[in-house]
Amino acid sequence: MTAKKELPSIAVLDDYQGVALGMADWSVLEGLATVTAFRDHVEDEEALVRRLEAFDAICVMRERTPMPASLIERLPKLKIIVSTGSKNRSIDMDAASSRGIQVHGTAYWSDPTIEMTWALILGSMRHLVEEGVSVRAGGWQTSVGADLKGRALGILGLGRIGTRVAEIGRAFGMDVIAWSQNLTEERAAEAGARRVSKEELFRQSDVLSIHVILSQRTRGLVGRPELALMKSTARLINTSRGEIVSEDAMIEALRNRQIAGAALDVFDQEPLPLDHPYRTLPNVLATPHIGYVGEDLYKAFFTDTVSHLRQWLDQA
């Protein structure tokens, strides 16, 4: 009797909400492969190798689980990586290529992050979380919110996302200023903003929103010198990447009430450690990197993921 052929195995990582298998029609893979979705996040590489060494395909959610060379080299069965989003800098492409491992991305759009940025700005300025918690506990009107109209909205990085955030700021009647390394006065004007120097951006902003990509020249771009320039009434918003802001400097500024507050959706380490100061500082609105976590985008992520997997299986 001929032995039954073992089906290729597919791992879906970091499915925090347990929704990945319901966001697309995975039934097209039935009989062709087995699919296992993991809801927990594994940080330790040794534990990650033990979990993944038996899988032929790995589906990663953005940069939640990086795929460096040290990990890829220890996964002997790995043949394909599918990452949600169009780019994933946490995958070592050279290491994958040297092993003949396919790497694919999916559709991506920025609207959920733009919307989340404004949710954080409004939530921070109007103390929405604190007031909501107070109401549940029997309280009523415990704070005074800050207005947006007439205030300065500073955009650090006036690219695709920054331009849309600026557009909404103008709709609120805000004065939009911007700076980044390559920003010109003409480009700023096209986006309805005024280009200022880096120092002026931090000095003048009532709300400073970060929209540069993480790179060697933007890592730690916002540190103690920059935070020291900010108004004591100003708020910093970060939906880009945690490492753009010096974490130690940010915590120090918040503890000392050097600035009024911060609303953060991204962090140096994710998930955020349980004992991290961002979880308890009263002037921090922290959310768990949900800027891109929207139903329509998730459906696109996983529909494209299934399509790439089916094409790979058909070629095998």
Average of per-residue pLDDT across 2-26: 92
Q: What CATH number should be reported for the domain whose range is 9-108+295-315? A: 3.40.50.720
What's the pLDDT score for residue 4?
Answer: 64
The amino acid sitting at 28 is V
**The two three-digit tokens of residue 116, written as one number:** 């989340």
User: Is-catalytic flag, 241?
Assistant: yes
Rg (CA), the chain: 22
Give phi and psi for 9, each to the nearest 5: -115, 140
Q: Is the pLDDT of residue 61 over 70?
A: yes
Among residues 206, 204, 184, which one has the least CA distance to residue 195? 184
Average of per-residue pLDDT across 43-65: 97
User: Is-catalytic flag, 74?
Assistant: no
Confidence of residue 149 (pLDDT cuts 50, 70, 90): very high
Residue-averaged pLDDT of the chain: 96
What's the pLDDT score for residue 15?
Answer: 98
Catalytic residue among 289, 295, 308, 310: 289
In this chain, the answer to whether the domains covering 9-108+295-315 and 111-286 adopt an identical fold is yes
Beta bridge partners of residue 261, listed in sequence order: 235
What's the pLDDT score for residue 5?
Answer: 78
What's the pLDDT score for residue 1?
Answer: 46
Catalytic residue among 247, 270, 276, 310: 270
pTM of the model: 0.93
What's the pLDDT score for residue 3?
Answer: 55
What's the pLDDT score for residue 316?
Answer: 79
CB 155 within 8 A of CB 166: yes
* Measured distance CA(266)–CA(314) in Å, rounded: 38
Q: Which are the contacts of 13, defined by CB distance < 8 A and separation ≥ 6?
A: 38, 58, 59, 60, 61, 64, 65
Superfamily of domain 111-286: NAD(P)-binding Rossmann-like Domain (3.40.50.720)
What's the pLDDT score for residue 266?
Answer: 98
User: Is-catalytic flag, 104?
Assistant: no
Cα distances from 73 to residues 221, 248, 306, in angstroms, run 33, 34, 25
For residue range 197-221, list pLDDT tens digits in order.
999 999 999 999 999 999 999 999 9
Q: Is the pLDDT of residue 252 over 50?
A: yes
Residue spans per domain, the chain: 9-108+295-315, 111-286
Helix, strand or coil, per DSSP, at residue 175 = strand
Average of per-residue pLDDT across 133-160: 97
Average of per-residue pLDDT across 4-30: 95
Query: What are the E-state strand segments in the chain?
Result: 9-12, 34-37, 57-60, 80-83, 102-104, 152-156, 175-179, 194-195, 207-210, 235-238, 261-264, 284-286
Average of per-residue pLDDT across 8-16: 98
Average of per-residue pLDDT across 244-248: 98
Taking each helix axis as running N to C, give the angle between helix 295-315 and helix 111-125, from 0 to 180 degrees, rounded to the nearest 10: 150
Confidence of residue 87 (pLDDT cuts 50, 70, 90): confident
Catalytic residue among 127, 151, 235, 241: 241
